[in-house]
Each structure stands twice: as structure tokens, then as C-alpha cells.
A and B are shown apart, each in its own frame.
Chain A
Amino acid sequence: MKKLLILGAGTAGTMMANKMRKDLLPKEWNITVIEKEKDHFYQPGFLFVPFGYSSRKDIMKPGQKFFAGGIDIVYKEIDRIESDNNRVFLKDETCFDYDILIIATGTRISPEDTPGLKGELWYKNVFDFYTIEGAEALARFFSTWEGGNLVVNIADNPIKCPVAPLEFAFYADDYFTKKGIRDKVNITYVTPMSGAFTKPKASKMLGSLLQRKNVNIVTDFFLGEVDNVNKKILDFGGREVPFDCLITIPLHSGDPVISKSGLGDEFGFVRADKNTLQSTSKQNIFVIGDAGNFPSSKAGSVAHFQAEVLHANLLSFINNRPLEAKFDGHSNCYIETGYGKGILIDFNYTTEPLPGMFPLALFGPFALLKETRLNHIGKLFFKWIYWNILLKGRKLPVSNQMSMSGKITD
């Protein structure tokens, strides 16, 4: 009996287990998934929690119910990967050996890596919304807050879901307007980038949208420290931005297991080929999703497109064929802009987000790089797709390779 071992049961790990179970005969291949958390969160839903639009119970389900039959799930904490011996040890020293390993351990925020960030104001005036605990603490804070300087800050890239901080700023404008205190809330978006987004066309469009919503923007700001006494953030060069409420998107790192196992870069992301998704240190180790050091967005849509490529390459690898499927960096994100509208962007390693229609050139129904009501509905509907189609490893009618069809170039 051969063994496929998957580390992590988030979006990527769950999808891969289900996809591979369909193709690998149970009498030939055992599939085991190791994960420490029993609850599976619909992470795009974290955005809604601080504003009271969603609660924990709306976005959390038991992870186990999304696995097909014939997959072993172990809810324990991993200690290390011994890649030279093809085995993984848990914290309790239980050992699992493998023929093929898929690493899907994701990424996590590491606020402790910035001086003062996890200081005395943490969860009092300083909040993250990338964890359920942070999002809930912020919801409690917002419910009684009477206004002041609201600062949304990205410490540095890479971060998970690069558009989420923008969505947060748009939602804050909407929320405090409806609450009738927008004139008392001064919103500032502080980013290490030189604009609202990285790629020129999207940056211009989103930048002017921030301006229209009366959100100030401070660019080229790399967070150096948080001054808890004077309530301000400072960059490494000493520039200051004062806050009454700081929404931080802290530095991100890979799972500590990766660094401990010697498979990662300096931030703990697994070194892997950005096209084949194979680890650059071991041929029988593959990586999917946020855990990798791929120059693509750390987002569920990326994991979804990667899953199809990885599925094809794993079958090739098992049958001693060359790894011909190539991931092109395809990413597809809905951006909530408040007031019941949204934007959709679709891009890859080489093509920036462009205007146009998606997925069908003439009929859309979604408009790219443009605010529409339908894009907002698409975002809301996506939650259903996530639980019912995506996690179960079923196919969506969207190609894993980005298509130029429907996109408008200059």
C-alpha cells in the first residue's frame, strides 16, 4: 500500500484530498490528512464579522464533513518533516511515513514580529481581522466606538488575500456612514506599496475609489513599530501615523514546521517551483496554497486553480511521466466596495488585472475592474460555492489557466 500524506486541511488540503481520492484506488493508495484544528472557517467571511454582518457560526463548520469517504483524518499537531527519510513526526512523536507528501499548511499572521504590535493596546485599540478572535474583538469595539482616527495598515507583503485590507476600508466607510458618525471617523489606509494596489491599472482604479470614499492613503510605509503610549505607528524611517483604532494586517509567516524541517525560505514559506508546484528540495514533496513561496496571491482562488494543476502533476509523478501541467499564477478575486457593490479582478503571473467581462466575453455576467451590484452578489454566492463545490474538489466552470477572452487591453 502506498501512502499520500497531506499536511493541513484548510482550503487547499481539503480540496487535494478529495480530488486525489477520486483517482487513486483505495486498495493501492492510502490518503491521510493531518490537521490540528477541527473547525474549518470560511476565511473570506472574516471581513464581515467586525461590522456585525456575519458571526462565527455563519462562517464555521466542522472540517471533517467535507472529506470524501476513504480519507483518514488525524487531528493532531505536526512537529517536523524528515524529508530525507520520507516521514512526518507529530508533537506526540507519532510517526507517519509517506511516498508522496503534499504541504498545505498555509500561512499565519505573526504580530509578535513587529515591536509593540502585540503590546498593551492589542485587542483594546489594535485589532487584526485575519483571525476569528481578532474579528470578534473588533466587532465588540466597533459596536460602542464613537469615532476618531481609524488606520488600516499592511505591515509588509506578502499577506493573505491582498485585497482584504482595501475591502475593509470600503466597508468601514459604508458602516460608519450608515451609523451616522462618518464625519467623526477619519479613515487612513497605510500601505507599503506605492499605491492602492500593485499592478498599475487596478491601483489607479482602486486608488481613485479610496479618494471618492474619502479615505486618506499613505504609501511606501513599512511598519517598524507601534507606539502604544502615544497611539501611533512608525515606519522604519521614523514617519508617524496617529491612530485611535488600528486595524493591522501583520507580517505573515509560514507554519513553524516548515522552517524547523529546513524546507522554507526565511519567512517559512516552502521553496517550490512556481509552475509545477513541486518542492525544489525533494521530488516527492509538493506544495499548494499559501504555504508555498510562489509569487502569486495568497488566496483561496489561487489554491483552487493550483489544485487542478497539482492533481494532474501528481498523477504524472505517480506514473513516472514528466510534470506537464503548469500553474500560471491565475488569481480571481471579488473586492467588496460597500453599498452593495463589488469589483472583480482576474490576473496571473504576467497579466495585470484588466477591464472587461468574466467568465464569458460578451455575457459576463461579471464585469472586471468595475463596480457593479452583480459582483457583490457573486461574492456572497461564492460562500455557497466554497462549501458545496470547491472544498469537495468538484469542478467549477472556470479554467485554471487565466484567459484573455473578455479582457480589454490598450
Chain B
Amino acid sequence: MSQKTYAGITVDVNEEGYFTNSSQWSKEIALEIAKEEGVVLTDQHYAIMEFLRNRFKSGEPLSIRSINHSNVIDVKTFYQLFPGAPLKKATKIAGIPKPASCI
């Protein structure tokens, strides 16, 4: 376990930089992580991150497929918002653990 400082606040992260305590997250923190990931956040980014955070809180698994059921954006837009590996990037910026496939 290590720590990082974003927007003047120290947070707990794992070796890959994912939050281990999602309650330490804030929108200001997200802005700085996004900068590290090369993403400029818009309202659409925040909306899908809210969906991801709520889903994580309710204990439901996160998957690319589930984005289509978010009623926020579709998967193609998700890829445009977080280019490359969207689910990994989005969860990192949203301050929740990297989704682990459960098989």
C-alpha cells in the first residue's frame, strides 16, 4: 500500500495507483488524476464516473458491457472519453478499484 497526493490531499492507493479507499475521492482529485492520464474532464466524464462509483458501491461488477446500460453514454463514446483502455482509466480517475474479472 502506498500513498499519493492530489490537490493537496493524501490518498491511499495500490501499486498500480488505484484508490483503496474510494471515500477519499473528490472531483478536484479526479481532475489531477485525469491530467496524469492525459484526459480532460467534461460533464460527460463526471456523469459516467458517477455511474461507475454508484455501481461499485452497490457491489455490482463493472464491465464494458454494463456501460451500455448506464443510460449515460454508449460504449463507443466511453472509448472516446477515455481513449485506449477506458474501463481501467475511468475507474482510476473515479477513485475506485480496477475491475477484476471474477473467473
Residues of A within 8 A of B (CB): 156-158, 162, 192-193, 197-198, 220, 222, 224, 236-238, 251, 265-267, 295-297, 349
Contact = CB atoms under 8 A, between A and B. Distances in A.
B101 interface: yes
Interface in B76-100: 76, 78-79, 83-86, 88, 100
Contacts, number: 47
Contacts of A236: 64, 75-76, 78-79, 86
Contacts of B84: 237
A212 to B, nearest CB: 23
Contact of B66 (A193, A220, A237, A266): A266
B61 interface: yes
Task: Summarize B's interface: helix, strand, loop or mixed.
Answer: loop
Nearest to B68: A266
Contact of A220 (B60, B75, B85, B102): B85
A266 B63 CA distance: 12
B57 interface: no
B83 A237 contact: yes
A157 B65 CA distance: 9
Contacts of A162: 103
A251 B65 contact: yes
A301 to B, nearest CB: 12
Nearest to B84: A237
Nearest to A223: B64
Contacts of A193: 101
Nearest to A191: B101
A124 B15 CA distance: 46
25 contacts: A156-B63, A156-B64, A157-B63, A157-B103, A158-B101, A162-B103, A192-B64, A192-B101, A198-B102, A220-B88, A222-B64, A222-B75, A224-B76, A236-B64, A236-B75, A236-B76, A236-B79, A236-B86, A237-B84, A237-B86, A238-B79, A265-B60, A266-B66, A266-B69, A349-B102
